Amino acid sequence: MEKFVVTGEVQLCGKIRVGGAKNAALPIMAATLLCSGVSVIHDVPYLSDIKAMQGIMTLLGAEIKREGRTLIIDSSNVHRVEVPEQLMREMRASVFLMGPLLGRFHKVRLSYPGGCAIGHRPIDLHLKALEKIGARIKEKFGFIDAEADSLIGSEIYLDFPSVGATENAIMAAVLAKGVTIICNAAREPEIFDLQTFLNKMGAKITGAGSDTIRIEGVERLVAVEHTIICDRIQAGTYLIAGAITRGDVVVENIVPEYLVSVIDKLEGIGSVIQVGENFIRVRSKELRGVDIKTLPHPGFPTDLQAPILSLLTMAKGTSIITETIFENRFKHVDELMRMGAQIKVEGRTAIIRGVPKLTGTKVTAPDLRAGGALVLAALAAEGTTEIEQIYHIDRGYENFEEHLQSLGAHIIRLNS
């Protein structure tokens, strides 16, 4: 097992460039299964979740080659429609395979995706959406079997603007007969990227980025080339790293409007933010407490709740964070309290009383974003912090320590 060892109290300064977004790449990789042919996807990040998706797709019969940041995916020989249980458990994003396999083969079998550290993460909205366009769903012995004689466009209402359910519904509907309308759809930028990719393949989708998406079914799709949009969550994490260390950081290759809510909160905390066409600069000398509520996009992203909570542990005054998206996403709190943070969690709300400084100690990353948050806290803390179980962090932060080192951080990866 590996760990990070971080020596704190170093102001981060400099520029970094973020790469393609994990949460855009995963559904787009799955979408390549909707047709036979060779798709070329650029700026695919080097992350363990991407590797896991590659493994599952290869098992289904896809042939995938990585050339630098480009994946070449040949889905001509995809012949299996069953995702094995072990691989489903390894990465719940394999649930994105349901839509494409149902769309192309009218059949898919997968085991119930396990919950994870941040919640039990049901897929009822995914299943309800697929049933609405004609899938017959059978759930027993922990497996889900979905099949359809044909898929017919319909109106789908999502009780919650679920990102995954929106993406699965789009991918199942692109080859259906007739028009599908998704109401109360998620509005995340990664869904717009999926729409762009599928329309290049010949789909007829409009409305992604709004709460109503229209998909007119087509006969067939063709394999195409595409470049993944930038990773707004990695970008936001580095901006918060600049603020928590009271440094001066420029994050490049980012679309600023993806982070309007994060920029607003950083300014409220006291950071000076400069926004360019494809970069954001953060300078921060003081930290003031603010209240934050996570919401579906364009609200404050739940994936940056843990990182900004780390920052607020050392902000003047009291801050209140309400996590409205996941029911169990405060696992970083116990670890931050070991570093001297003053936090009280009541259900989905964390009350944070700012302290002048955290102090380094041994902590354990409980999940991907909480792990990132602990690294940020360590960068600002007095003394040295060891962070165990950093495999969680490698799922979603590409070359994390190298990026931070390039900004001046004292962080190394060791075998623990």
Active site residues: 116
* Part of the chain binding ligand EPZ (CB under 6 A), chosen from 156-164, 304-312, 337-345, 358-366: 156-164
Instruction: Work out whether 195 is an interface residue with ligand EPZ (CB under 6 A).
Output: no
* Part of the chain binding ligand EPZ (CB under 6 A), chosen from 7-15, 158-166, 219-227, 382-390: 158-166
60, HSE (Cβ side, Cα atoms, 13 Å): 34
Dihedral of alpha carbons 84, 90, 95, 97, sign = negative
- In angstroms, the CA 55 to CA 105 distance is 20
Q: What is the per-residue binding string for ligand EPZ in 7-46, x denoting contact by CB under 6 A?
A: ----------------x--x--------------------
Smallest gap from Cβ 214 to ligand EPZ, in A, equals: 20
Shortest-Cβ-distance residue relative to ligand EPZ: 164
Q: Look at the block and give the residue holding tokens 């898919």.
A: 108
Instruction: Work out whether 126 is an interface residue with ligand EPZ (CB under 6 A).
Output: yes
Smallest gap from Cβ 21 to ligand EPZ, in A, equals: 9
130, HSE (Cβ side, Cα atoms, 13 Å): 33
Strand partners, 206: 214
- In angstroms, the CA 330 to CA 307 distance is 11
Please tell me whether the peptide bond between 122 and the residue prior to it is cis, using omega within 30 degrees of 0. Answer: no
Nearer of residues 193 and 248 to ligand EPZ, judged by Cβ:
193
Nearer of residues 46 and 272 to ligand EPZ, judged by Cβ:
46
Instruction: Work out whether 234 is an interface residue with ligand EPZ (CB under 6 A).
Output: no
Can you list the alpha helix ranges (DSSP code H) found in 109-181?
Answer: 124-132, 163-173
Of all helices (H) and strands (E), which one includes residue 103? helix 98-105
Total residues at interface with ligand EPZ (CB under 6 A): 23
Of all helices (H) and strands (E), which one includes residue 412? strand 410-415
Instruction: Work out whether 178 is an interface residue with ligand EPZ (CB under 6 A).
Output: no
Instruction: Work out whether 229 is an interface residue with ligand EPZ (CB under 6 A).
Output: no
Instruction: Work out whether 100 is an interface residue with ligand EPZ (CB under 6 A).
Output: no
Nearer of residues 28 and 290 to ligand EPZ, judged by Cβ:
28
Q: Look at the block and give the residue holding tokens 């759930």.
A: 139
Smallest gap from Cβ 222 to ligand EPZ, in A, equals: 25
Smallest gap from Cβ 190 to ligand EPZ, in A, equals: 6
186-204 burial by CB neighbour count: b if 16+ within 10 A, else e? bbbbbbbbbbbbbbebbbe
Of all helices (H) and strands (E), which one includes residue 338? helix 331-338
Q: Which residues bind ligand EPZ (CB under 6 A)?
A: 23, 26, 93, 119, 121-126, 160, 162-165, 186, 302-303, 325-326, 368-369, 396
